[in-house]
Amino acid sequence: MAYERSESTGADDGADTNALALKILVAGGFGVGKTTLVGAVSEIRPLRTEEQLSRAGELVDDTGGVDQKTTTTVAMDFGRITIRSGLSLYLFGTPGQDRFWFLWDELSQGALGAVVLADTRRLEDCFPAVDYFEHRKIPFVVAVNCFTGARTYGAADVSRALDLDRGTPVVLCDARDRDSGKEVLIRLVEYAGRMHTARLLDTVG
């Protein structure tokens, strides 16, 4: 399990000498809400690398279903959230377009796990992210972003449609809502913790 511990620099600085910082990726298709989720849950001003969509980009980016989107992430989003005392998550939002996937290998190094955001109107857009994390054995949860006006599907229906491995969590969320996003992250940390523990037991069994 990848993590960093921060050490206290003084008796009265208030820092937790056993603080744990975990790296989490937020992935998914173009326009699914990755930047929105990171911004909603981050307790610091999120770092964003967004650029305006151009006419040239229309030739390579499928904007069907997200016609109102005017910007796109070209490197990553970054935010931080404290889950509880002594446990913080560093969030790295990945770019959604195919041409930026070369960045994923760099961003995924040292990650505890990932959130794959899904839009049921464009469910196929999250297939590449699901395949990426499955093939690299990086624990992930699928978070269905419930857009206004979109048909609602149950977690079991989404799991079958994505042909997920048995036990991979699927949760419904609102990427704009901090509490909803935090629940997704807690679910991921719990699931990733169980997966890492099981793998450690397998190696000593």
Taking only the tens place, the pLDDT of each residue in 28-57 is 998 899 999 999 999 999 887 655 544 544
Q: Tell me, what's the pLDDT at 2?
A: 55
Please identify every stretch of the chain with a pLDDT value under 70, giving residue numbers as ranges: 1-17, 49-75, 96-100, 205
Distance between CA atoms of 157 and 132, rounded to whole angstroms? 21
Q: Tell me, what's the pLDDT at 98?
A: 65
Q: Tell me how crowded residue 141 is: count the other CB atoms within 10 A of its CB.
A: 24
Q: H helices of the chain, where?
A: 34-41, 104-108, 127-135, 155-162, 178-204
CB 189, CB 112: distance < 8 Å: yes
The pTM of the full predicted model, rounded to 2 decimals, is 0.80
CB 114, CB 195: distance < 8 Å: no
CA dihedral sign, ordered 165, 169, 26, 24: negative
Amino acid present at 112: L
Q: How far apart are the first and last CA of the chain?
A: 18
The alpha carbons of the chain give a radius of gyration, in whole angstroms, of 17
CB 40, CB 177: distance < 8 Å: yes
Q: Tell me, what's the pLDDT at 62?
A: 54
Q: Tell me, what's the pLDDT at 19?
A: 85
Q: Tell me, what's the pLDDT at 125?
A: 94
